[in-house]
Amino acid sequence: MSGSVPDSGCGCCGTASAERTEQPVRAGSAVRVRLLAGAEQLGIGGEDLGGLAGLFDGGDCAAVQGRMAQLVTGRLAATEARIVELVEEAARLQAGMPDARPGPLEEVAGLQRRIVELGGMVGVLQGAAARLSEPATTGACREDCACVTAASAVTTPRVPASRMALSAAAVGGGSDIVCTLEGGTDAMSERITDWQTVVGAATGREPADGGVTLTFDHDPGAAVELARLAAAEFACCSFFTFTLTIGPMGMRFTVTAPEEARDVVTAVYGTAAPAASGGS
């Protein structure tokens, strides 16, 4: 009596066909590649990346997701803290150069651009953290599991702009001193450049309660630009208050914020020149 031999392989020795064995291998390899590529996009590398690969190879997606969540949380906290440090550094530079010397201004502009770049990364990491908080897949990782799709998750970022906001984020609370990157990082980068141009045209700076007042000559174009930028900035960082006054002596543009966000005001708009000390 002859036994039937399946088309897919040898029935007597149990050998599977190449098509049946290679397909799951290829699928698993593709998921592994996507997982590791996404982890690298989130700034995970070196031994941490190798550790994720080892966990993936172990076939326990819950373990992969748990470890990846830990790494993303750590990266997020470090990136948020670095943003606040850069804001404080830019504020110190601005406070020390009310005469707007070119060298320091270029350094401040570089810090402002870096802050925007890191803000974009915070948005990516926050999206990943939210995705990784979802229930884990049972068994091996699949192409639609949280750890594979974390890098592409989209969320509305909340970028802490002060140490108080950092402290609130650390305990899972909220803070008003955050920026939401309204319009994306490209729009924010363009706006920073536009602010640098407009602020550079100010004829003077005066202290204001909670911020600084920039003075300008009469210029309808500058007035329109100040109003446009203020509206866009408020949509992103709603802790600011902007006031534009036009009168016989020219234009006055006042920027204020709560005490805990004072460094943000100084980092972007500068500070009033210190009063000159009287000679003996």
DSSP-derived letter for residue 160 is: E
**Torsion angle, alpha carbons of 263, 210, 237, 260, to 10:** 50
Asked whether 142 and 57 are in contact (CB, 8 A), the reply is no
So what's the pLDDT on residue 276?
43
Q: So what's the pLDDT on residue 2?
A: 44
Q: Compute the distance between CA of residue 151 and CA of residue 131 in angstroms, rounded to an integer.
A: 9
Residues in the chain with pLDDT values less than 50? 1-27, 100-103, 275-280
Residue 61 is encoded by which pair of tokens? 């997606």
pLDDT reported for residue 235: 93
Question: Which pLDDT belongs to residue 272?
Answer: 76
List pLDDT tens digits, range 14-50: 444 444 444 444 446 899 999 999 999 999 999 999 9
Give the pLDDT score at 105. Answer: 77
Q: What are phi and psi of 244, to 5 degrees?
A: -110, 120
Paired residues of 216 in beta bridges? 251
Q: Residue 95: its pLDDT value, please? A: 86
Q: What's residue 173's pLDDT? A: 54
Question: What gap in Å lies between CA 226 and CA 199, rounded to an integer?
Answer: 9
